[in-house]
């Protein structure tokens, strides 16, 4: 997996989304109230709402279009709705840099 610097932890507002783009891939980054950072694809599986604009509560984000509740740990949409978004591994290094890990083309094959 390739690690890509997505900024500094101090640049992420708590419980709010921030858009991070890598080529054609658009992610939503969230700093949770416990300080952990989560990354998911920035599209709700329902009507493609921008999750980065959603409301964060605990470890869930609510889609701004139709209030679908998505778990930021595993990307699963919560019942009674169904679906999933891709999640990405995130690490904050010793200097506070946020690193997002994505599979390269060879790993996806």
Supply the CATH number for residue 39's domain: 2.102.10.10
DSSP for residue 73: T
pLDDT, tens digit only, all 109 positions of the chain? 788 999 999 999 888 899 999 888 999 999 999 999 999 999 999 988 899 999 999 999 999 999 999 999 999 999 999 999 999 999 999 999 999 998 764 444 4
Reported pTM: 0.87
Residue 80 tokens read as 């009674």
The structural domain count of the chain equals 1
What is the span of the domain harbouring residue 45? 2-108
- 10's CB contacts (< 8 A; 6+ apart) are 96
């Amino acid at each position: 997996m390739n690690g890509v610097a997505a900024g500094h932890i101090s640049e992420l507002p708590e419980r709010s989304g921030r858009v991070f783009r890598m080529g054609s891939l658009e992610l939503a980054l969230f700093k949770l109230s416990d300080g952990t950072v989560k990354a998911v694809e920035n599209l709700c599986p329902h009507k493609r709402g921008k999750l980065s604009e959603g409301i964060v509560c605990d470890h869930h984000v609510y889609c701004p279009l139709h209030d679908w509740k998505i778990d930021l740990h595993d990307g699963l949409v919560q019942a009674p709705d169904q679906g999933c978004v891709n999640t990405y591994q995130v690490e904050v290094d010793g200097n506070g840099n946020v690193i997002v890990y994505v599979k390269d083309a060879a790993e996806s094959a």
